[in-house]
Amino acid sequence: MSQEIKQELDQVFEELKEELRDKPQGYATEIPVAERLFPEMEPPRIQVVLLDPDEDKVAFRRVSDPLQGERKSDWYVGEIEEVIDDALSWEVELEETDELIEENMNEEFEG
């Protein structure tokens, strides 16, 4: 993992922890994962719902997943760190998909 991604990940983690601090059970927020991939799509994001403020337990799911045809994913329960890990892995998946699409388009137009 590059140093830049690590710093970005740490910042998102701290911002999320700060946002959830002193919030009641059931508080909901979203984390943007990437820019819009296509103009008509919503940007990919992760919904987060605070389940247990004392133990940093949350429920989270991917929303507007272009890899899933804009369906919402299943809910997962875990700690805040798991949300950040999922956001990072999804960001990598989106980058790989974008590169693959670009590669295929270049091949198609080049011959």
Q: What is the pLDDT of residues 58-67, one digit of tens each?
A: 999 988 755 5
Residue pair 49/27 in contact by the 8 Å Cβ criterion: yes
What residues contact 66, with CB distance under 8 A and at least 6 apart? 37, 38, 41, 44, 94, 97
**C-alpha span between 29 and 108 (Å, rounded):** 41
The pTM (predicted TM-score) of the whole model is 0.76
**C-alpha span between 12 and 31 (Å, rounded):** 8
**How does pLDDT run across 27-70, given as a tens digit for each residue?**
999 988 877 666 666 778 899 999 999 988 999 998 875 555 56
